[in-house]
Copies of this chain bind each other. A is one copy, B any other.
């Protein structure tokens, strides 16, 4: 599969890495133990995207909705997201963390990344959603004094994130769960039944092979 050439490579891929807790339970671990097993898959995905020439990659880290979970889980996903961003900062990428950084639920160590930071050879643009909320994102557009009514979309908090061509969700659920509603408006969705910690490169290649057979109409 990995030798396939794609006619239509998505420029921007969104990743919803779901199923960490269900994976942990299936292994007899506590639910919160699953998140750290999601780090290695993220790095593998980074490598595959760079190898193929994908320009932009957005990871759904954690959301304001997620922070209502028990504190052991919250701490575990806060730590996993912090570790993931640090690991990616050792790679060749420009990194932007997007989320409500004014909240105590936002990991302080990640504040520096709320402005895009460039690392190494800057081979790919990576966006990482941390304490992200769709309401927070959209409502920002309404509180901007430089607000331009002809294009409010340029005023949302995630305005630096481009339109997403392909969203891949692990863990079998077929829903967006609040993931970047504006950038997802015309995205194609691909669902992987396996849980995110069970990531295999073939999941990714299968998603790309499926995307290769779609068309892009932007609603037209």
- Number of A residues, CB within 8 Å of B: 36
Interface presence of A217 (CB below 8 A): yes
Contact of A149 among B69, B134, B139 (CB under 8 A): B139
Q: A26-70: contact bitstring with B at CB < 8 Å (1 yes, 0 no)?
A: 000000000000000000000000000000000000010110110
- Say which residue of B66, B142, B187 sits within 8 Å of A219 (CB atoms): B66
By secondary structure, the A interface counts as loop
Residue A205 lies at the interface, judged by CB distance under 8 Å to chain B: no
Q: Mark A165-200 against chain B: 1 for CB-CB distance below 8 A, else 0.
A: 000000001111110011011111110000000000
Interface centre among A69, A134, A182, A185 (most CB of B within 10 A): A185
| A129-159 Cβ-contact flags toward B at 8 Å (1 or 0) | 0000011001101110001010011000000
A214 within 8 A of B: yes
Residues A152 and B138 in contact in the complex (CB < 8 Å), given A218-B65, A219-B65: yes
Docked CA distance A56–B184 (Å): 24
**B219 lies within 8 A of A63 (CB):** yes
- Measured between beta carbons, the chain B residues less than 8 angstroms from A188 are 173-175
A220 on the B face (CB < 8 A): yes
Q: List 28 A-B contacts (CB under 8 A).
A: A65-B218, A65-B219, A65-B220, A66-B219, A68-B220, A69-B220, A135-B153, A138-B152, A138-B153, A139-B152, A141-B142, A142-B142, A142-B149, A143-B149, A173-B188, A174-B188, A174-B190, A175-B186, A175-B187, A175-B189, A176-B184, A176-B187, A177-B186, A177-B217, A178-B185, A178-B219, A181-B181, A181-B182
- In the A-B complex, the 3 residue pairs with the smallest Cβ-Cβ separation, listed nearest first, are A65-B219, A178-B219, A174-B189
Show the binding face of A for B, using Cβ within 8 Å.
63, 65-66, 68-69, 134-135, 138-139, 141-143, 147, 149, 152-153, 173-178, 181-182, 184-190, 214, 217-220
